[in-house]
Amino acid sequence: MTVKTHNILLPHYYEGKIEAGCDEAGRGCLAGSVYAAAVILPADYHNDLLNDSKQLTEKRRYQLRTEIERDALAWAVGIVTPEEIDKINILNASILAMHRAVDQLTVRPEAIIVDGNKFKPYRDPQTGLILPHTTIVKGDGKYLAIAAASILAKTYRDDYMNRLAEEYPYYDWRSNKGYPTKKHREGIKKYGVSPYHRMSYNLLHNYLISIFQAPFIEYIR
């Protein structure tokens, strides 16, 4: 019998600093806002169940969200809309969402660790200082604060996409959460785009989309 295990995540990257972990959700989606979270955990925090949100079941993610919000010294979620994504591109939007999350932290961090390999320097609005930051590839599977941020970003964005799915049931968003699945693209081809689609994306590969395909969808945001 094979027992599936995961690595024990590290409590911090910076020694002796209040450290915020950041991650985003929804970067590869065709529709919806991109969400990011920032989390500051106690220096001695341990949670053996905490891991990259993509490695967890939906039930476990929501269970851990409750624990993270209870235990964190501070946490916040930042959002960048589809309109903003189309204007500034998804990479910049993902970083902006992280900055917005950090802006809202009630405990001010002294350093930032970020999942991935791209970030822009963050200037603390209260002190005017640029905080040290480190990008960590697959950091959500290495550091507790980044893993916690990945869970908050993922679950809050899932909640948002589930609400949109009630308003626009044509794209199977409750299942795909806006990612480019076959059912999602079939919905776009049949019904046209929604106000929440990212128009700078190649929504249907080589298909042309007419805004007149679906008169019941409002196109002006």
Alpha helices in the chain (DSSP H): 58-71, 82-88, 90-103, 144-167, 173-176, 182-191
Q: Which residues contact 2 (CB under 8 A, 6 or more apart)?
A: none
Q: What is the pLDDT of residues 145-171, one digit of tens each?
A: 999 999 999 999 999 999 999 999 999
Q: What CATH architecture is 19-164?
A: 2-Layer Sandwich (3.30)
The CA distance from 186 to 30, in Å, is 13
Q: What is the pLDDT of residues 174-198, one digit of tens each?
A: 999 999 999 999 999 999 999 999 9
Local confidence band at 20 (pLDDT 50, 70, 90 cut-offs): very high
Tokens 């916690």: give the residue: 148
pLDDT of residue 190: 95
**C-beta of residue 163 within 8 angstroms of C-beta of residue 145:** no
Residue 189 burial (CB count, 10 A):
14
In the DSSP assignment, the letter for residue 22 is E
Alpha helices in 57-132 (DSSP H): 58-71, 82-88, 90-103
